[in-house]
Structure 1
Amino acid sequence: MEYGILPLIIVALLGAIIGSFLNVVILRLPEENSSIAYPASHCPKCNHPLSWYENIPLLSFLILGGKCRSCKEHISWQYPLIEASMALLGLGLFLHFGLTLTFLAYFCFSAALLVIIVIDFYHQIIPDLISLPGIALGFLFSFINPEISWLSSLIGLLVGGGALYAIAWGYFTLRKQEGMGGGDIKLLAMLGAWLGWQSLVFIVFTSSLFGAIIGLIALRIQNKGNQTKIPFGPFLCLAALVYLFYSVEIQYFFQLYLNGQWP
């Protein structure tokens, strides 16, 4: 289905605005007793309250030259990157699903994954406030989701959480140390609920592969005697986003492989 330029602009603007809000969530959610609604947006360095024209997604960063108008300290590139990422995700989802309830649902799902990626990268935690409601919402949405059935969602959340729990238990049994946190287990259950059990092989394999590659690179460049802890959540989320957009192609090639028609 073809769309005019105006709907695409509106969706991109919506994505950028939501991305601006996600920056607030990313900054405040890991902090205990912190509200995402209060106080109003301000510079994290000097606490200067931001005027409306200093809080326009993407544009304000460019106009201000990436610096706070008050203290002249550099603004983190995270802010425009999150806004741009959400705008691009919104466009991709709109072109993929059209103006449907499925688009709106997976738009919220993608926003949640974006928050998890950044928080887990910086803090090595996956907030239960996102993953636990995400599991429930993914399963409830499956009853009206044309992409997957409720049974696929149910199996996905049970197998997703159970598979990572088994891996984590086996690693702990062999190495006597924790290799995967409970947040990753709940996250994969959430991904299974939203994307169905068919997604799990691709998500686990792809995230493990790239996680291992990044881990080996980190080991090569780290100082001797130090251990680099690589969060697994971002790899799970990125693999899930790839599957969300290319599930048909992935399942097609997987079927060819099972039938011995693809090396």
Structure 2
Amino acid sequence: MWLMLIPITLCVEAVYHDVKRREIPDSVNARILLTALLVTCLTWHSVTLADALIGMLIGFFAVLPFTLKDGIGGGDLKLVAALGAWLGGGATLGFLFWSAMCGMVMAITTHLLGRKDFPFAPAIASGFLIAICWPNALTRLIELLRG
């Protein structure tokens, strides 16, 4: 679990840049991806290389349509893909869900404050934290909704 301090720390850096300049430097996303692949190749955590690549691809292709429609920036797209490599395929789906929920709360708040847009990295980072701190939260939510 201590390894997850690496992407969490880099997420904080991404959030800082996105809030301050509305841009996430490629160097931050590259460090997230490279460290994910490094710890995976060294077998320091349970995600296999194939699963890391699947997580990266799921994150990339899930967010790509929103990037193409100018709904989310390219830095956010790369951030999601890189974090997906840390989580692997299955956990990336939960991460995407929680990031979308956090983004929805931020969008409503932004609208109520009379602003037009907002940096999305805080929602991505929040979704990532939820996905790693409560990995079964989405499953439990679905079970709760089913009754």
Please report the TM-score for the alignment, with normalisation by the length of structure 1.
0.50
Stretches of structure 1 lacking an aligned partner (at least 5 in a row): 1-96, 98-102, 173-177
Following TM superposition, where does structure 1 have runs of at least 4 consecutive aligned residues deviating by more than 6 angstroms?
A: none
Q: 1:152, 1:251 → 2: CA distance?
A: 19
Shift of 1:261: 8.9
Contact 1:253-1:262 within 8 A present in 2 as well = no
Aligned residue for 2:64? 165
Matching residue within 104, 107, 124 for 2:22: 124
Query: 1:31-70 deviations in whole A, cap 9, x for unaligned?
Result: xxxxxxxxxxxxxxxxxxxxxxxxxxxxxxxxxxxxxxxx
Indicate the SS of the match to 1:208: helix
Matching residue within 127, 143, 146 for 1:239: 127
Aligned partner letter, 2:55: G
Aligned partner letter, 1:164: V
CA separation of 1:253/1:148 partners in 2, compared to 1, >3 Å: closer, same or farther? farther
Query: 1:55-103 deviations in whole A, cap 9, x for unaligned?
Result: xxxxxxxxxxxxxxxxxxxxxxxxxxxxxxxxxxxxxxxxxx4xxxxx2
Q: 1:117, 1:261 → 2: CA distance?
A: 32
Aligned residue for 2:140? 253
Aligned residue for 2:85? 193
Contact 2:17-2:24 within 8 A present in 1 as well = yes
Matching residue within 213, 217, 220 for 2:105: 213
Is 1:142 the counterpart of 2:30 in the alignment?
Answer: no
Q: 1:146, 1:232 → 2: CA distance?
A: 28
Q: 1:180, 1:198 → 2: CA distance?
A: 23
Q: 2:126, 2:106 → 1: CA distance?
A: 14
Q: 1:108, 1:127 → 2: CA distance?
A: 17
Q: Relative contact order (C-alpha < 8 Å, sep 6+): which is higher?
A: 2
Greater per-residue helix proportion = 2
Q: 1:198, 1:250 → 2: CA distance?
A: 13
Contact 2:59-2:96 within 8 A present in 1 as well = no
